[in-house]
Amino acid sequence: MEARKQKLLRQHRRHKRIAMVTAFVALLVIGVALSFWLLPLLLVLGWIVHEAWFADHLFYRPQEDYRYQFPPDAVQLGGCIERGCLHLAGDLPDADTLILEVRLETTWVGHLRDPRVYVGGDRQDFERGVGGRRYLNLSGQEEALRAGSLRFDSRYCRLGAEVRLYAMRNPDYTQRRVLIIAPHADDAELAAFGLYSHTPEVAIVTLTQGEIEADNYRRLGLDSAAAARLKGRLRTWGSLAVPLWGGVAQRDCVQLGYYCLQLSAMEAMPERVFGSRESSETDIRTARAHNSLQLPGDCDGQPTWHNLQADLRALLAHFRPEVVITPHPELDPHADHVAATRALRQAIEAGEWRPEALLLYANHLHDNDRWPMGPAGCGVALPPAIEPLPADRLWSPTLNAEAQLDKAMALAMQHDLQVPLPMKKRLRRSIQRVLAGRRWPTTGDDEFFRKAVRRHELFWVRHL
């Protein structure tokens, strides 16, 4: 999965370099033909245009259809949108998750501003230049939909008249015993803070210290290894302490202390020790001092796949979760996220405890680094699915304004989300704010404050 993302990124950069060289040559010709004093002005204008409208990592054509399939027990209702009202060919069943398949067509302004659809008091944004099949999230709007008072409007795009509604019903997973698998500190908060803060029986297991890419800490006078160790300690602390803000006691939070971006290598050679790439550490027990449980990996402290498997089997047997929340192996391309879910599946198959279901989340995407698009506080439309995904049921609980603020504050406690923005990104945001009409929240500068603090959380349900 990570290999595909890297391939797409290399293609994107190669195409961008070709486009920039072509543009520079064209500007040079214009400067020679007219006047050389125009050249620096044109270069500045070209850079501003790039930052405003071409800086997104979008690895597909916005005119491509999203390709979703839903399970056979999802109720499907055809319908149409007329004068802003949705008319369905049948009665709306009892359901907690409602997904509306629509066709969007951009207007010319939709190449400069993000197209958006308004659903009652909600807003869901899409790619500039959008065209084709997309999926609106109507979860939380059931009462208005039944009453016929749910209004639809669009800006910078047009809604096709014919639509199809998919209605799915799930158990209330907040009333089950839940275990959250977080490859890194903050993954549990990004994906599921709203869920776990309303779940009486929940445990959070963080697999890695998240110690790499610690250059920001070198400003404290530390060398690379010491900076990585400090970052690992801080993120380890965050994985144990921040969940208390959502009502999860420290005894129900476990830090396994494996090393960032080493899980895939561990899987490939299960008996080999894989220490940190940057901190020079090789003993995972340094990160386990505050765990309330003794685990198999505590015996020798070696970061191996065998120890990770033994730890996960022991944790499943101890917490006996009915539901496990873990990264989506087809949607989320981060190498540690993919390996985390593979490790969990292997531990379930080999262990003594088998959960009923997995709830899958995606904190990263292959194809679109801005998803969920649009401002913080808005709804979460379904992400791009250019290649078909398994036909999983969806569950999309809603967060009120108070829960969204609490989630934003939980993210604000994460040290890794408080790194100052580079000047280039600050300039880009200023340009996009003026020319593209984009907005960022005041709760934090990191992009996850915009992407993760939303009206919806979104999970794919996979029964075991």
Q: What is the tens place of the pLDDT at every residue in 204-263? A: 999 999 999 999 999 999 999 999 999 999 999 999 999 999 999 999 999 999 999 999
Distance CA 194, CA 235 (A): 21
pLDDT of residue 43: 77
The pLDDT confidence band at residue 21, using thresholds 50, 70 and 90, is low
pLDDT of residue 139: 98
Q: Are 112 and 106 in contact (CB under 8 A)?
A: no
Q: What is the greatest pairwise CA distance in the chain? A: 77
Residue 4: is its pLDDT beyond 90? no
Distance CA 46, CA 16 (A): 13
pLDDT of residue 52: 94
Share of the chain above pLDDT 70, in %: 92
- For 72, the token pair is 């056979």
Average pLDDT over residues 130-148: 96
Q: Are 329 and 341 in contact (CB under 8 A)?
A: yes
The phi and psi torsions of 396 (rounded to 5 degrees) equal -135, 85
Residue 174: is its pLDDT beyond 50? yes
Residue 412: is its pLDDT beyond 80? yes
Residue 280: is its pLDDT beyond 60? yes
- For 88, the token pair is 């369905």
Distance CA 305, CA 262 (A): 10
pTM, rounded to two decimals = 0.93
Closest CA to 250 of 203, 214, 297: 203
pLDDT of residue 36: 62
Distance CA 222, CA 202 (A): 37
Share of the chain above pLDDT 90, in %: 87
Helix, strand or coil for residue 324? strand
Distance CA 311, CA 214 (A): 27
Residue 29: is its pLDDT beyond 90? no
Digit-coded pLDDT (tens) for 60-96: 999 999 999 999 999 999 999 999 999 999 999 999 9
Instruction: Report the sign of the C-alpha dihedral through residues 132, 98, 359, 211, in that order.
Output: positive
Residue 31: is its pLDDT beyond 90? no
pLDDT of residue 1: 44
pLDDT of residue 18: 67
Digit-coded pLDDT (tens) for 444-461: 999 999 999 999 999 999
Helix, strand or coil for residue 172? coil
CA dihedral 134, 139, 140, 141 (to 10 degrees): 50
Residue 168: is its pLDDT beyond 50? yes
Closest CA to 163 of 91, 83, 103: 103
The phi and psi torsions of 4 (rounded to 5 degrees) equal -65, -40
What residues contact residue 317 under an 8 Å CB cut-off, 6+ apart? 351, 352, 353
pLDDT of residue 33: 64
